[in-house]
Amino acid sequence: MADESANLSATMGLIVNGGNAKSAAFEAIHAAKVNDFTTADAKLKEADNFLTETHNAQTGMLTAEANGDHAKVTLLMVHGQDHLMNAITFRDLAGEIVDLYKKLAEQK
């Protein structure tokens, strides 16, 4: 059975970094809305960095599972995976919205 404290740490990494990634992506949209594209691009990069951290936490969990170190699936772990999936989706959408605001600004 997997080390419970390592699983908790990885799960919290999913939640915290996933939430931070989503927040940074949201800030990128707000910056683009007021034509602050330097900040928007920086916030998208920040979101990507948080997603990398989140991905690393998830990869550690998946590697342990593949090596036969099975973790007990908890509601907290499922919540962490939800945070990751939502953050990835939101980041992708934020990038598209920022690009749209850039195109609108170029047309003015």
CB atoms within 10 A of CB 22: 22
What is the predicted pLDDT for the residue at 69?
87
Mean model confidence pLDDT for the chain:
93
Task: Give the pTM.
Answer: 0.90
pLDDT digits (tens, 9 = 90+) for 50-68: 999 999 989 988 898 899 9
Q: Out of 5-14, 73-82, 92-101, which region has the weakest mean confidence (pLDDT)?
A: 5-14
Per-residue pLDDT, 71: 85
Give catalytic residue positions. 79
CATH of domain 4-107: 1.20.58.80
What was the pLDDT predicted at 73? 87
Ramachandran quadrant class, 35 (left: phi over 0; alpha: psi -120 to 50; beta: rest): left
Q: Is the pLDDT confidence value at 1 over 70?
A: no
- Please check the confidence at residue 3 and state whether its pLDDT lies above 80: no
Residue 82 labeled ligand binder: yes
Mean pLDDT over 9-37 rounds to 96
